[in-house]
Structure 1
Amino acid sequence: MPKHSIRGATAATALVCLAAFGPVPSSSAAAAPPSAAPHPAGQPGAAGSSRFVPGPCPKPPEPIEALSDAQCGYLEVPENRSRPGGRTIKLAVARIPAASDKPAADPVVFMAGGPGADTFDDIPFLVDSGLNKDRELIVMAQRGNRYDQPNLACPEVDRFNGQAVGLGYDAQQAERIMLKAVTDCRTRLMADGVDLSAYNSTENAADFADLRKALDIPRWNVYGYSYGSNLALTYLRLHPEGIRAVAIDSIAPSQFVTLPWTWGSTAEGIRNIFAACAAQPACKDRYPDLPRLLTEQVRELEARPLTLNVTPPDGGKPVKTVLDGGALLNLIVAFTPRPKDMPAALEELSKGNPERFAQARAAGSVQKVGEFAHGLTNSIACSEWAPGYSESDVLKAGQKAYPGWPDTVLAQPPQLPFQYPVCGIWNVPDRASVQRVPTSSSVPALVISGTFDVKTGASWARGVARNLSNSTSVQVPGIGHWVVPQSPCAQSVLASFFAHPTAPDTRCVDDLEPQPFTIIPK
């Protein structure tokens, strides 16, 4: 998926953040040149030419305080380990010292969501969550991310996302503009010599294995969220040596993640939010039938979309904003508005006041161009998550999750509009058989989920935990995607786990309840 974490997401941002996803050929695919040959199935390759080169830390537009004391540099690795003698790429690395005067010997390495999210942008959330309190925190941008060489950003797609707020969510015009942006990005990356087939979870996992060796670290701990949980499981399966403990947050199980899968996760999270409202007397009294209310508003907006001039939340000129059924659902999946405000926002919408949703939609008009690696997103989504399913499979999954909703809403996977024609253009090899494999391990593991997660449904963690024989599972009530930064209790559990991997203290979860929902007067 997904930046889909606690900061929200644009319509075309990956879910896992997913932060989710063989491609269905489209007319665009016919003209697309083939990508480079696939990596041999299941063969991660040798570390060989990998090395760490110290260097200056990246300089984000908004300074990150933790980088002022960090040691940085690049990990140089083969772009494609199946091609000896091929070119190397550079991955940005930061080593953030522990706050403690007597830190533990085994650091924590972080695996970000996305795929494609800016890893360094997550550092303030990690530090605020205490990840470097007792241990060094190591952050590496996954291949193709911002600050890497090459960077698989697609400014063309970012600019489309800015335009998309003024178009119907699944409108033909939106599809045409997006596919042109994807085509232009692919053409540019290929002209630069990028081997799009090499940007996958197997190579990603091998990069982290090489990093541990290059830094001469005997053992370390792993923490990953959303797509980073998928990557952490892949890493544990292919490179278990040197891993002391693994914590995964907001689970995207590598054996289950497909495009149709997104619908079940979305429905589960929304269902849990509505059930939590029903369990609070004040919320139940004020909003007695939220499932019906949501269905009515999705149907109404899809039949009669609202076109508004809306000032984005951060100011600026008003922008044309279209709010239809698909946009409404995807704003909810992006946690805009926040779950505690969702019942109130739906009630206001039903009474003719769309302001909360319209403002959230208009916010997408302001894009940070070039920060998100859409190229990495597409390479992974199209090789690992899309194969084996079709657009009709996505529609069927949507109809199962929300019977009676318009097919025009259900035809697009949440937060991944037009992904099948995109994959037809991106044209990377099918790697589903390599990646859709469960991870079985006795390495101590912590599995953290939030009940309000509408991107990676909390119940999917059970299937992962069953294969991790030495695991502890924690489900945090009332928290959405990427649990740890949002929950002091989850932060405490994570710290306890790294201190005592086989016996973490999880007692704080027992008394947790979702916070009260926003109640607007009748």
Structure 2
Amino acid sequence: MALTHIPRRRRTARRLHTAPAAVVTGILVTGLLATPAGAEHSTGAAVGTVTRTVGGARFEPGPCPKTAEPIAELKKARCGTLTVPENRAKPGGRRITLGVAIVPAAAAKPKPDPIVWLAGGPGDDAVGEAKMAIDGGLNRDRDVILMSQRGTYSADPALLCPNVDRFNARAVGLVYDAPSTGRLHVEATKACRDRLADRGADLSAYNDIESAADYADLRTALGIKQWNLFGISYGTHLALVYMRLHPEGLRSVGIDGILPPSRAGSALAWSSAREGFDGLFKACAKQSACNKRYPNLSATFERLVRDLEAKPVTTTVKVPGNDKPVKVVLDGGALVNWLTTATHVATQVPRALDELAHGKPQRIAQQWAGWKLNPQGMGVVSHGLAYGIFCSEWTPYESRAKALRGGQNAFPSFPRSVLAQAPQLTFLRPDCDVWNVPAAPRSIRDVTRSDIPTLALSGGFDAQTGAANGPYVARTLSRATVVTVPYEPHVVIATSRCAQEITASFFDRPTAPKTGCLKGLKPPRFEIGP
């Protein structure tokens, strides 16, 4: 199974999911809790400066949470920890701590309602995404609150699986969707599951219901009357559950790269891939130079998937950070998963596919291996949280037959061996068999019905959470504004100035955001090879 994120290099440059382990990380950033200069005007000058206990949750000021890399945006943050029950059904059981960082607003007189950032994944750490949130302009005139979801990097315990990350890196030299690869992957998953369980983790308690309660407890513990949410990727999944279970105190909600809990699973992964691929291929077809040099790009891609699945290609490439050449095997499944992520480097895709069609797999192989072997993605994703959600909220409510039909409907020409593994959810069902957690209540799949003002953002090239998810969730959100930013990949606030402007105007006026910047957007200029 692979998580769904933006490639690391792209994410840090303009902002991250999920290549499999390419996640935003950040290194130890600590400091005594102090109110930074100018913070006396902040949401709460008082927020994060006193210990508060409310119900079963306790907020305590303290050093900023650890991050995998230094994050300059946290230097002025007020920080601490929220301590909550691991399993609220077992009030006398173990307690866990979640790292909290509050980045002050840039304005001299901030608005009183902060914005809470919900990270992607599942399994990414929100504190490690501080740069993305601030680069997106969210702290323009509001404080931004980042709390590590349970099990993530800056939480205690952190349910990480570095052995799974290492296997995913090694697997670039294996046939992607071969049964033998699947057996090795499931062995790695089980080894991590057993290690976490042996350390006392209640793996059934890492899910959306508990995470939503964590955030509700945080608002109360910080004494905040009203706040806003902004979730990206999987964070939209959590945001929609939060809206349904804990609507009190919510002024507005932004969701970017939308993953509806009621539809999440393999079939949705396939339809999202189709939508994102088609968006990219059509943009090339409408650009005369691209269409002339790379005609019928969609047909070329589907033919390559079939050909590679029948006869995989093996090559070696050089990857940054690796002294020795890396062996890469490209089969049909690998190509599908490469393209799902490569929409983040869309201008290169037509040329890369054409090179592959003419016996030059190196460009695609180097990107594929580079994303998977990136050392910054090792040991930072909470597979414990990811599997907790996948295996309790997704697989129990999607049959194998439904998952397969989703693939067949989206890509009827693909071989069955490719369709058996949804994009970026490879070997999900056997992984869940060994993860062995009970199903969540069926209500977890309910649609969210709400009149809370909501901004539903999508990218036209998003192959991970297709743009059709915006109108879908808006059917039951009576005050939703649906925006698709054309020519953009997954998580548009990370790559689109227009998306940032729309988001800023939304938090100013949640029922009437300004979307005029969409009219001036132009398609990218695709690379044209010799």
Would you call these one fold, judging by a TM-score over 0.5? Answer: yes
Task: Tell me the alpha carbon deviations over residues 329-375 of structure 1, each in whole angstroms, 9 at most, x when there is no partner.
Answer: 10111227712211111011111111211101221234433200011
Alignment correspondent of 1:370: 379
Alpha-carbon shift at residue 101 of structure 1 (Å): 1.2
Greater CA drift, 86-95 or 116-125: 116-125
Distance change in 2, residues 1:207/1:14 (3 Å): farther
Between 116-125 and 87-96, report the one with greater CA deviation: 116-125
Q: 1:263 aligns with which of 266, 270, 273?
A: 270
Partner of 1:220: 227
Whether contact under 8 Å (1:11, 1:417) holds in the other structure is no
Distance 1:213 1:249 in 2: 25
Q: Could you tell me which residue of structure 1 aligns to residue 290 of structure 2? A: 283
CA RMSD across the alignment = 1.9
Q: Secondary structure of 2:83's partner?
A: strand
Question: What are the Cα deviations for residues 54-83 of structure 1, in whole angstroms up to 9, with x where unaligned?
Answer: 111134342100111111111101111111
- Distance in structure 2 (CA, Å) of the matches to 1:186 and 1:81: 21
TM superposition shift of 1:85: 1.3
- Where does residue 236 of structure 1 map in the other structure? 243
Task: Give the conservation status (yes or no) of the 8 Å contact 1:5–1:481.
Answer: yes
CA-CA distance at 1:6 after TM superposition = 5.2
> Is the CA contact (8 Å cut-off) linking 1:3 and 1:117 kept in structure 2?
no
> Which residue number in structure 1 is paired with residue 173 of structure 2?
166
1:76 to 78, 83, 99: 83
Instruction: Tell me which residue corresponds to 2:364.
Output: 357
Name the TM-score, length of structure 1 as normaliser: 0.91
The farther-off stretch of 2-11 and 471-480 is 2-11
8 Å contact from structure 1 (residues 257, 385) kept in 2: yes
Q: Which runs of 5+ in 1 are unaligned?
A: 16-45
448, 455, 462: which one aligns with 2:457 = 448
Of 483, 501, 520, the residue aligned with 1:492 is 501
Looking at structure 1, the residues matched to 59 and 481 of structure 2 have their Cα atoms a distance apart, in angstroms, of: 34
Match of 1:89 in 2: 96
Bigger mean CA offset, 507-516 vs 370-379? 507-516
Letter in 2 for 1:141: S
1: CA distance, partners of 2:336 / 2:271: 14
Contact 1:14 1:115 in 2 (8 A): no
Report what 2:109 is aligned to: 102
Query: Is the Cα contact below 8 Å between 2:68 and 2:380 reproduced in 1?
Result: no
Could you tell me whether the CA contact under 8 Å between 1:12 and 1:417 is conserved in 2?
Answer: no
Gaps of 5+ in 2: 9-15, 24-52
Question: For residue 4 of structure 1, what is the aligned residue in structure 2?
Answer: 5
Matched with 2:434 is: 425
1:181 to 188, 191, 197: 188
Q: Identity of counterpart residues, as a percentage?
A: 49
Letter in structure 2 aligned against 1:502: T
Distance 1:381 1:9 in 2: 15
Please name the residue that 1:39 is paired with: none
User: Among 190, 208, 217, which residue is 1:210 paired with?
Assistant: 217
TM-score by length of 2: 0.89
| 8 Å Cα contact 1:2/1:415 also seen in 2 | yes
Whether the aligned pair in 1 keeps the contact of 2:502 and 2:513 (CA below 8 Å) is yes
Write the mapping of 1:286-365 to structure 2, written as runs, cut at 5 A.
286-335=293-342, 338-363=345-370, 364-365=372-373
**TM-aligned CA distance change 1:409 to 1:150, over 3 Å:** same
Deviation at 1:516, TM superposition (A): 1.7
Query: 2:69: which partner in 1?
Result: 62
Shift of 1:481: 0.3
Q: Secondary structure at the match of 1:387?
A: helix
Equivalent in the alignment of 1:35: none
Per-residue Cα deviation, 1:463-500 (whole angstroms, up to 9, x for no partner) = 21121111111110000100111000000010011111
| Counterpart-to-counterpart distance in 1, 2:298 and 2:221 | 53
Structure with more relative contact order (C-alpha pairs < 8 Å, separation 6 or more):
1
Paired residues, number? 491
Corresponding residue of 2:38: none
User: Quick check: 464-473 or 3-12, which moved more?
Assistant: 3-12
